């Protein structure tokens, strides 16, 4: 997906780059907290980063993924703030959802200044999908059904009501001219993988999430991806998936993914991981 992702840096991510040969050296127990159960986008971020860090010889041993679900990332954030301060060997997967919830005050008593933000590794584009046996063959048919009856299709996603996954289906429905958006049913699960399992099991009618969450199910043929919410088609194995725009629905939904670290870490350790994330992106 290297041609499909876009490098994004927020103002508080901008740190001067320097060579990786600094005083800090990673220990033998590097951890990456994925603030969700296995199978979601945060889990994907940690596990794939671990593989690349090892290939690039940026860590002496494979980085271990620790799954810590709860409160849409709030449990992991609180754990990092309260119990892992000064830990130079801990990364935490983050995304649009993380900073959105912080901005909304959904992690009580906590804010963005309580951790060190490292950077992002790209944009994970949203998708809207159905099971392989669904009667809906394209996004237009699905949106037409919602236009006739907003409660006709129940959606599932890996973020809470009002979260990013929920917003993606509302963005698409609004662009398609669907009225009475609050009536569209949405069920939230701990992660995208669990939401897709509910879809395949026939408990919901559609899935809203990110392409990384849907990849395995798309490859196996269990999932029919009706649209990707990107400006143009993604490359490689995803090139067969049409965009929403191609189907006359002007909906874009990109979820950045990246990392933060605890407060009070050594400056050279922070710089090491900033540079490592930059190399990971490249």
pLDDT digit string, tens, across residues 262-282: 999 999 999 999 999 999 999
Alpha helices in the chain (DSSP H): 41-55, 74-83, 96-103, 139-148, 164-175, 192-200, 211-220, 267-281
- Regarding whether 119 and 186 lie in a shared domain, the answer is no
Strand partners, 227: 128
**Is residue 4 domain-resident?**
no
- 144 and 199 inside one domain: yes
Question: Which pLDDT value is given to residue 237?
Answer: 92
Residue 7 φ/ψ, nearest 5 degrees:
-75, 130
For residue 41, pLDDT beyond 70 = yes
Range of the domain at 47: 11-123+256-281
Query: In b/e form, how buried is each residue of 13-29, taking b as 16+ CB within 10 angstroms?
Result: bebeeeebeeebebeee
Q: What is the mean pLDDT of residues 170-180?
A: 96
Taking CA atoms, 282 is separated from 4, 6, 120, 276, in Å, by 13, 11, 11, 10
- Write down the mean pLDDT value for the chain: 90
- Read out DSSP for 14-71? ------S-SS----S--EEEESS-TTSHHHHHHHHHHHHHHHTT-SSSPPEEEE---G
What does the pLDDT average to over 202-207? 97
- Dihedral sign (CA 105, 106, 107, 113): negative
* Percent of residues, the chain, with pLDDT higher than 90: 78
CA distance 177 to 174: 5
Looking up tokens 């609050």 gives 182
Q: Which of 264, 261, 282 minimizes the C-alpha distance to 32?
A: 261
- CATH number at 180 reads 3.40.190.10
* Phi and psi angles of residue 25, each rounded to the nearest 5 degrees, phi first: -130, 135
Closest CA to 211 of 12, 38, 45: 45
Mean pLDDT, residues 253-261 taken together: 95
- Given the DSSP bridges, would you call strands 155-157 and 186-188 parallel, antiparallel or unpaired? parallel
171 and 241, same domain (yes or no): yes
Residue 130 lies in a domain: yes
Q: Is 199 helix (H, G, I), strand (E, B) or coil?
A: helix
Question: Each residue of 160-173: pLDDT tens digit?
Answer: 777 889 999 999 99
- Would the CA dihedral through 216, 217, 221, 226 be positive or negative? negative
pLDDT bracket for residue 8 (50, 70, 90):
very low
3 is a domain residue: no
- Tokens matching residue 135: 């009667």
Residue 6 lies in a domain: no
**Which of 174-178, 188-192, 237-241 shows the lowest per-residue confidence on average (mean pLDDT)?**
188-192
Q: CB–CB of 85/262 below 8 Å? A: yes
Lowest mean pLDDT, pick from 46-50, 115-119, 186-190: 186-190
Residues 6 or more apart in contact with residue 187 via CB below 8 angstroms: 154, 155, 156, 157, 195, 198, 204
The single-letter DSSP state of residue 122 is E
pLDDT computed for residue 257 by the predictor: 94
CATH number at residue 274: 3.40.190.150
- 265 is a domain residue: yes
Least confident span in 54-58, 62-66, 70-74, 190-194: 190-194
Query: What pLDDT does 117 receive?
Result: 98
Residue 221 counted as domain residue: yes
Q: Are residues 231 and 267 in the same domain?
A: no
Q: Are 133 and 243 contained in the same domain?
A: yes
Residues 41 and 99 in one domain: yes
User: What pLDDT, on the 0 to 100 scale, is given for residue 231?
Assistant: 96
Q: Is residue 2 part of a domain?
A: no
| Distance (Å, whole) CA 27 – CA 89 | 7
State residue 27's pLDDT score: 92
Whole-prediction pTM: 0.78
**Total domain count, the chain:** 2
Instruction: Assess if residue 1 is contained within a domain.
Output: no
């Amino acid at each position: 997906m290297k041609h499909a992702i876009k490098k994004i840096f927020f103002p508080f991510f901008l740190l001067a780059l320097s060579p990786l040969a600094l005083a800090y050296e990673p220990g033998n127990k590097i951890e990456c907290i994925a603030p969700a159960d296995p199978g979601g986008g945060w889990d994907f971020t940690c596990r794939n980063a671990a593989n690349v860090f090892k290939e690039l010889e940026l860590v002496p041993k494979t980085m271990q993924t620790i799954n810590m679900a709860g409160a849409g990332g709030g449990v992991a954030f609180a754990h990092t703030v309260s119990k892992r301060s000064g830990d130079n060997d801990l990364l935490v997967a983050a995304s649009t959802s993380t900073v959105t919830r912080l901005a909304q005050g959904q992690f009580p008593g906590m804010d963005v200044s309580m951790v060190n933000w490292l950077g992002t590794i790209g944009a994970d584009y949203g998708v809207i999908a159905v099971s392989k046996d669904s009667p809906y063959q394209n996004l237009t048919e699905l949106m037409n059904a919602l236009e006739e009856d907003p409660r006709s299709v129940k959606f599932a996603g890996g973020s809470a009501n009002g979260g990013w996954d929920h917003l993606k289906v509302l963005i698409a429905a609004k662009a398609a001219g669907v009225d009475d958006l609050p009536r569209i049913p949405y069920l939230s699960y701990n992660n995208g993988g669990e939401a897709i399992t509910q879809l395949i099991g026939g408990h919901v009618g559609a899935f809203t999430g990110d392409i990384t969450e849907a990849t395995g199910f798309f490859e196996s043929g269990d999932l029919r991806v009706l649209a990707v919410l990107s400006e143009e088609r993604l490359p490689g194995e995803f090139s067969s998936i049409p965009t929403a725009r191609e189907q006359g629905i002007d909906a874009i939904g990109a979820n950045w993914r990246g990392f933060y670290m605890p407060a009070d870490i050594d400056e050279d350790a922070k710089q090491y991981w900033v540079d490592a994330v930059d190399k990971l992106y490249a």
